[in-house]
Amino acid sequence: MMKHEMELTIANIKLKVPLYGDEKNTERIAQQVEETYRQIEAESRRIDTPVSALQTAFSFAVEADRAKSTGERQDEEIVEALSGLVESINALILKFGTPS
């Protein structure tokens, strides 16, 4: 039976998290969370675990939104390029006719 979750420690807290791809990838993501959490905690004037956790979550949400926006812009550029290609093909068909 395939595992769907694994146990990790992030910020000294044991968590069961869903697998994202495989264990190695899930551990890599957990390490990114740990690093971001520690950075936010180091920059804070006071230690407030819930606030640090929320700031970490917000940081990752911002990154996810940026990635989504970039992907959407790239999709729009591809659609625009394909539309131009279709127009060029249609112009060639009108000029030379369809192959017989």
29-88 tens-digit pLDDT: 889 998 998 888 888 777 778 878 888 888 888 888 889 889 998 999 999 999 999 998
Q: How confident is the model at residue 20 (pLDDT cuts 50, 70, 90)?
A: confident
Q: Report residue 7's pLDDT band, with 50, 70 and 90 as the boundaries.
A: very high
Give the domain extent around 11: 5-96
Residues 6 or more apart whose Cβ sits within 8 Å of residue 88? none
Domain count, the chain: 1
Quote the pLDDT of residue 99.
67
Nearest partner of 64 among 38, 42, 32, judged by Cα: 32
pLDDT score for 2: 67
Estimate the crossing angle of helix 49-96 against helix 23-43, to 10 degrees.
120
Residue with the two structure tokens 């971001």? 36
pLDDT value, residue 21: 86
Phi, psi of 22 (to 5 degrees): -140, 180
Residues 70 and 47 sit within 8 Å (Cβ to Cβ): no
73 sits in the region (left: phi over 0; alpha: psi -120 to 50; else beta) called alpha
